[in-house]
C-alpha cells in the first residue's frame, strides 16, 4: 500500500514540483531585478 501510494506521489512531486518551485523563484528574481533597475 505504502509503495503503491508513495511511488506516483513522490515521482510527481519531484518531476513537476521542483521545476515549478525554481520557476517561481526565477520569476521573483525578474520582478526584483526590474524594481532594482527602476530605483537606480
Partner 1 sequence: MSMAMAEIVLLSIAIYLAIIMAMGLAFSKRVKTALDFATAGGGLGFWLYTLLMAGSLMSGMTAMGVAGLGFQAAYQTWWEQLAVPLSIAICTAIYGPKLNAIGRRLGFATVQDYLAFRYYDMKLVRGISGLISIFVSAVYLIGQYVAIGIVLKVLMDWEYWQGLLLTGAIVILYVMAGGLFAVAWTTLFQGLILVIGVVLMVPLVLGSVGGFASMNEALSAAKPVGPFKPPGLDMPFGGFEFLTTPLYNLTLFGLSVFLGLSVAPHIINNVFAFKDVKCIKWGPLAGFLIGAIVLASTKIIGIAGRVAWSKGLIDIPSHPVVPGAKWSDMVLPAMIKFAVPPVLWGLFAVVILAAVMSTTDRLLLTIGTNFSWDIYRNLINPRASDRRIMSIGRAAVAIVGCLTILAALSPPALIAWLIWAALGMMFSTWFVVLVGGLFWRRATREGCIGGMLSGFLATVVAGIIDGGGIWPPPLGFRFPFYYAVLGFITSSLIFVAISLATKRPPERVIEDSLTGPFLRWAGK
Q: Which residues of the shown chain bind partner 1 in the complex (CB under 8 A)?
A: 2-3, 6-8, 10-11, 14-15, 18-19, 22-23, 26-27, 29-30, 33-34, 36-37, 40
Q: Which three cell numbers stand for residue 27?
A: 520569476
Q: Which three cell numbers stand for residue 30?
A: 525578474
Q: How far is the CB of 28 from partner 1 (least distance, A)?
A: 10
Q: How far is the CB of 7 from partner 1 (least distance, A)?
A: 5
Q: How far is the CB of 30 from partner 1 (least distance, A)?
A: 5
- Separation between Cα atoms, residue 25 and residue 39, nearest integer Å: 21
Cα 22 off chain centre by:
4
Amino acid at each position: 500500500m505504502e509503495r503503491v501510494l508513495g511511488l506516483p506521489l513522490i515521482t510527481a512531486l519531484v518531476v513537476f514540483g521542483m521545476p515549478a518551485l525554481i520557476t517561481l523563484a526565477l520569476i521573483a528574481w525578474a520582478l526584483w531585478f526590474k524594481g532594482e533597475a527602476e530605483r537606480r
